[in-house]
Structure 1
Amino acid sequence: MKEEIRKRLEEVLPIVDFDSDFLFQELDSLGITTILMTLSDMYGIELDRKDVTPKNFKSLDSLVELVKTKLGKDAD
């Protein structure tokens, strides 16, 4: 899942360093919106403003965990 997310996000945001441990600081509002829309489309999950936190956007790993959490909630 991580590599699938990395590949797609690198396609839509090629100048962002997804290996950064400070991913949130590298993103502007358009980048954040692009990530939310991309992940929502990829996995059929609902992501919105409340999901945009420094914790969730700290790194690629934290984005993967956010998706996993949303997929788990949707399965309930």
Structure 2
Amino acid sequence: MLFKLSEKDEAAVAVAWAVARNFDKLSDDVRNELLVKLSEKDEAAVAVAWAVARNFDKLSDDVRNELLVKLSEKRK
């Protein structure tokens, strides 16, 4: 369900905040895939950045680096 919603621009922000707030309740694979997917959407970038900052030490190096690169490419 979250993957379907994350495809819609109007729902991406809500999904990103849901992932950020429930970070430890999601499996690593689901959480990481959603964060990477959502990091590509301008609307969700702030929530994804918050999730990365708040859970920096819980992300694997490769996922953390991928997210940081994608977020750093945003103009906002």
Normalising by structure 1, what TM-score? Answer: 0.32
More RCO (CA 8 Å, sep 6+): 1
The structure with the largest helix share of the pair is 2
